[in-house]
Amino acid sequence: MKKFIYKHGGNIFDYSKRLNVLPEEIIDSSASLVPFSTPKFLLKALKKELKDKNFRYYPEKNFQELRKTIGDFHGIDPENIMPGNGASELITWIGYEASQSGINCLTPPCFSDYERSLNCWNANYIFDELPKNWSSKNPQTFPLLPNADVLWITNPHNPTGQLWSQDSLKRLLLTYKLIICDEAFLSITPEGEKESLISLVKDFDNLIVIRSLTKLFSIAGLRLGYIISNPKLINKLILKRDPWPLNAFAIQAGITLLGNKKEYTVWTKKIHKWVNTEKSWMSSKISTINQLLVLDSSTNFFLVKSKQSMIPNIKYLANKGILIRGCSSFRSLSDKWVRISIQKHSQNKKIVSAIQNSFK
């Protein structure tokens, strides 16, 4: 079996040092973040935070204001919410609960952090691979019914970009002891929110939904995510973790982004339009390259399969300051696969042209 390799995209600072260029000169298509400048309303709030110097004090106990803002945004009680230092920190704590709940199942190819977390707690886990061909229609039915107690789902799935239907996931809640549904990319995905499981948390105690603000607002460096689950589980995890896992700026960012529904809606509409337009432009261009097959995706990244190893192409692009995500570290994929996330149109043109040249 493939060894566990812990690898992420988004190594922009490493490459800027290696190539001796500024980070903003790198086109990073290896991490799937929106490529636009930080929204003005967020910058304003962060500047105010700096001016007011509230960061001199410990953050509010239990993040009451942030939890209330998130609760109001989703129409759920603050008791159901635990904010965290990015979804990744929360995945670590969920792994603790999952390790106590029986046999876990991961569905490769999938985000490597789940396995990292399960290893932290010596959890029992198995794999059930997702089929490598899928419908171009989204949402689609979740295709697996693994023999396990705990099922980890990503919606939309990373790295395939498949969007699972809420109906098909709801059925799984009747079968498994615990369902963990990572919705880190759902808000960025056009028509994605309709498939969210958040509204089911009040009816199902065996559900944990993971959300992240990293991708939609490109705030990977601020670190901000949250989970939504039953209050008993939330309180159990709160008692285990650090007393102040979020810093003052991340808290302010969360209150600002989710507390301004009008600004949030304007931003999200712009992002969905960009995803639809650029994804179809880019995939149609890359599809014209003989060696490559572009796979359908619902969101801002997609998989590409080559007839041969993509390692030379990845290196060629990296030397030109363009990063794409090689997939050899994903279980069930190989060096013939890459994941590409869409950027601004001018950058997408450069990526496409560099990929074309890398085959010459």
What does the binding site for ligand PLP look like in residue numbers (CB under 6 A)?
86-88, 111, 154, 158, 182, 184, 212, 214, 220, 225
Q: How far apart are CA 142 and CA 78, in angstroms?
A: 30
Cβ atoms of residues 164 and 140 within 8 Å: yes
Q: Which is nearer to ligand PLP, 214 or 358 (CB)?
A: 214
- DSSP characters for 195-222? G-SGGGTTT-TTEEEEEESHHHHT-TTT
Q: Which is nearer to ligand PLP, 154 or 229 (CB)?
A: 154
- DSSP characters for 38-79? PPHHHHHHHHHHHHHTGGGSPPPGGGHHHHHHHHHHHTS-GG
Shortest Å, Cβ 110 to ligand PLP: 8
Q: Which is nearer to ligand PLP, 211 or 279 (CB)?
A: 211
Shortest Å, Cβ 175 to ligand PLP: 22
Q: Which is nearer to ligand PLP, 182 or 296 (CB)?
A: 182
Shortest Å, Cβ 36 to ligand PLP: 17
Which ranges in the chain belong to alpha helices (H)? 12-19, 40-52, 64-74, 87-99, 113-120, 166-173, 214-217, 231-240, 248-259, 261-287, 311-319, 345-358
Shortest Å, Cβ 212 to ligand PLP: 3
Q: Which is nearer to ligand PLP, 31 or 352 (CB)?
A: 31
Shortest Å, Cβ 281 to ligand PLP: 23
Nearest residue to ligand PLP, using CB?
86
In one-letter notation, the amino acid at residue 201 is: V
- Burial-class residue 239 by CB neighbours within 10 Å (0-12, 13-18, 19+): exposed
Shortest Å, Cβ 154 to ligand PLP: 5
Q: Which is nearer to ligand PLP, 91 or 354 (CB)?
A: 91
Q: Which is nearer to ligand PLP, 139 or 358 (CB)?
A: 139
Cβ atoms of residues 152 and 208 within 8 Å: no
Tell me the HSE value of 343 on the side-chain side, using a 13 A CA sphere. 19
Shortest Å, Cβ 40 to ligand PLP: 22
Q: What is the CA radius of gyration of the chain?
A: 20
